[in-house]
Amino acid sequence: MSRLFGTSGIRRRVDELPDQFAVNLGRALGSVVDCKVAVGRDTRPSGPRLESALIAGLLSTGTDVLEVGVAPTPTVCVAASEHGAGAVVTASHNPPEYNGFKLFNREGAFKPKEEDMVEGVVKSLKFIEGAGGSKKQDYTGKHVKLIEGVVGGAEGVKVLVDCAGGAGSTVTPKLLESMRCKAKFIHDNRDGVFPHGLEPTAENLKRTCEAVRKSGVDVAFAHDGDADRTCAIGGDGELIEWDTFLTVLASQSRKVVTTVDASMRIEEYCKKVIRVAVGDVAVAEGIRNHKAGFGGEPSGTYIFPDVHMYPDGIATVGKALKLVADGRFYELVEDIPSYPMERVKIACDHNNKEKIMNNLKKSLNNLNYSDVDGVRVEEDDGWVLIRPSGTEDYIRITAEAKTQDKLDKLVKEGKQWIKQAT
């Protein structure tokens, strides 16, 4: 049996997720944890089936279950932080034909060692037995109060939110009402019909951006399917570039954590920047280790430790709206420079990745580089990251520079280094 957990829980095509798989996952989770488990799901049509099977597995081990129902992943995390553990049936921003599971403890997402424990029990089929109980509880109100208690109000700000037909529509409207905003919502249905792709990309949000232009709002936001990530759209209908939005949010903290593939602009706006491996688990760990005030990735996942320790697209909306209300949001957006950046994929057989990366490090030992995750070579006016993909047969090159000529040079050098290391 291949490994169950990937870089963000379990994600598979729905036809590869039979009921028995979910039952056994619930049995394994219930055999590993010794606490109540909060369970929720996003709006995918396959969600109720998989949620019921997962809960049945948990109950069969004597584990008590808190049924949160349709809710954003960060809302279930709020429940998990209170009760000890949580599980969400979601494939996040993957297409509707996928679904999956994310597991949580009090501090956020399960770490790889915890996932390995659950996976070991699934494969051994050595489950404990018992009879647990369950009850339904709505955690959206607690989630809203938690965010509002940190950000306060944004009275009168005109905002539009695209909920993507996902679970964000259960919480974000309540938050904006509580913050006294003048809010409009599109795609806030929860019937399993998705108006566009679940990932908030420029391609998927073309019609949303047009709606923003016609709406007369001050700012807009778009969630993914389970609302753990969010992008921002200016009142003019232009998508605010991911690294720019990341830098805006990061600029509000003296010490921040971000990933090796994020823009160098963050260093220009934050006093202390700690770079970690790609992935929200690494970001959360970095926040804890360094007592940072913020952590985020250029993929649209942002962690605010004054709220909780998991990426929260709804808290992101609240934090950004506070900046809009204070008149600082667009000042920052306009002030942050835009540097050219390029991402390139080089085909590489999975079995050769380790050898190539080891050879690369040896050949670059006279250069200033970090090997936190792949190899990131730093120069005064740019950087290049060479990193093997964790899910595909590629080695990825990401580069950024203050000029296009410098960027072209860095990408060319990156390709040459990989060729020499092969």
- Which residues, at least 6 apart from 332, have a Cβ–Cβ distance to it below 8 Å? 247, 248, 251, 323
User: Edge-to-edge, what's the strand order for the sheet holding 341-347?
Assistant: 341-347, 394-401, 382-388, 375-379, 369-370
Q: How far is CA 344 from CA 94, 108, 280, 355, in A?
A: 22, 32, 22, 20
Q: How far is CA 256 from CA 246, 266, 271, 287, 383, in A?
A: 11, 9, 8, 7, 19
Is there a contact between 361 and 375 (Cβ–Cβ < 8 Å)? Answer: yes
Is there a contact between 74 and 66 (Cβ–Cβ < 8 Å)? Answer: no
Residues facing 232 on adjacent strands: 221
Nearest alpha-carbon partner for 101 in 36, 44, 153, 172: 44
Angle (CA) 73 277 166, round 5°: 20
- Rounded to whole angstroms, the Cα distance separating 290 from 409 reads 34
Structure tokens belonging to residue 42 = 């996003």
| Active-site annotation, residues | 92
Residues facing 9 on adjacent strands: 6
Q: Using only the alpha carbons of the chain, give its radius of gyration.
A: 22
Strand intervals (E) in 27-126: 36-41, 65-70, 84-89, 98-105, 108-109
Identity of residue 279 = G
Is there a contact between 137 and 165 (Cβ–Cβ < 8 Å)? Answer: no
Angle (CA) 280 189 100, round 5°: 40
Place of tokens 């860095």: 410
- Rounded to whole angstroms, the Cα distance separating 49 from 38 reads 17
- Rounded to whole angstroms, the Cα distance separating 401 from 101 reads 38
Identity of residue 205 = L
